[in-house]
Amino acid sequence: MGLGVCPAVRDAVKQAVRSMAEERRSVIEEERPSVKGGHASAAQAGSVEELSASAFQKYLHGMDYPGGKQDLISLARKNNAPDAVIQVLEMFSDKTFHSAADVSQEFGRVK
């Protein structure tokens, strides 16, 4: 003797599962913007021009400020930054950066 599930409950559960799956797909697509949109992640960026500021900052996670250009390059390499990130850092001025905001400002200047 099997326990049956009311068809209305079964349908409601199926709809809820479909809705959650669609929402997850939407979130994933938002987290992976396309290069064509001009907001490429560092991994997607084929060149410096395509690199977004947020993707760039990702590879500087763990920076102990203040620090210089070479400190930023070393950390980015340690964080497995792609060539586009290293190229941008190599264009930075030789100065001391006191915060992520300083780095973002320099990123905007060189880009």
Cβ atoms of residues 18 and 58 within 8 Å: no
The reported pLDDT for the residue numbered 47 is 67
pLDDT tens-digit series, residues 10-35: 777 667 666 666 666 654 544 444 34
The reported pLDDT for the residue numbered 21 is 61
* Weakly modelled stretches of the chain, pLDDT under 50: 1, 27, 29-45
How many CB atoms sit inside 10 A of residue 66's CB?
12
What residue spans of 32-99 are helical by DSSP H? 53-58, 69-78, 83-90
In this prediction the pTM is 0.59
**Cα of 44 vs its chain's centroid, Å:** 10
The reported pLDDT for the residue numbered 32 is 44
User: Please, is 79 exposed, middle or buried when counting C-beta atoms within 10 Å of its C-beta (0-12, 13-18, 19+)?
Assistant: middle
